[in-house]
Amino acid sequence: MPVDLSGTWNMVSNENFEDYMLALGIDFATRKIAKMVKPQKVIRQNGDNFTIRTLSTFRNYLVQFKVGEEFDEDTKGLDNRKCKSLVTWDNDRLTCVQKGEKMNRGWTHWIDGDELHLEMFCEGHVCKQRFQRA
């Protein structure tokens, strides 16, 4: 049975988000607000097709993709960059490489116990988030 990340997840911890935002060049005012919010992840996993919504009182972000198929990602409302993104399974970890202006950029999701984990990385900076089912 493959891992199923589907569900509605509430953020319970967020480490090093400031460094990650700095690496992405997010301005001071936006960072101050962004680090106050506790986003919710709403994930729909249907075979190889995914919809991941990151929802907050400040901004929302939507990404849709098929595992193994590179797609054009526009990080609109975040750092507003264009990436060629590719999501694959690395064993039980759903891993995205976001090829673009920023080096070594991407994220990885996995489940450990009843928690959803997310690491987002950019140019050597790693932000670590944990979520629990809503």
What is the rounded distance in angstroms from the CA atom of residue 36 to the CA atom of residue 24?
Answer: 18
Nearer to ligand VL7, 27 or 114 (CB): 27
Task: Name the residues that contact ligand VL7, by CB under 6 A.
Answer: 21, 24, 26, 30, 34, 37, 39, 41, 52, 54, 56, 58-61, 63, 78-79, 107, 118
Nearer to ligand VL7, 43 or 47 (CB): 43
Nearer to ligand VL7, 91 or 94 (CB): 94
Minimum distance from residue 113 beta carbon to ligand VL7 (Å): 19
Number of Cβ atoms within 10 Å of the Cβ of 111: 17
Minimum distance from residue 105 beta carbon to ligand VL7 (Å): 10
Q: Which structure tokens are listed for 11?
A: 């953020």
Determine which helix (DSSP H) or strand (DSSP E) holds 28, and give its type and residue range. Answer: helix 28-34
The three-state secondary structure class of 14 is strand
Minimum distance from residue 85 beta carbon to ligand VL7 (Å): 9
Minimum distance from residue 90 beta carbon to ligand VL7 (Å): 14
Is the torsion defined by CA of 11, 14, 20, 26 positive or negative?
positive
The three-state secondary structure class of 27 is coil
Determine which helix (DSSP H) or strand (DSSP E) holds 86, and give its type and residue range. Answer: strand 82-90
Nearer to ligand VL7, 1 or 109 (CB): 109
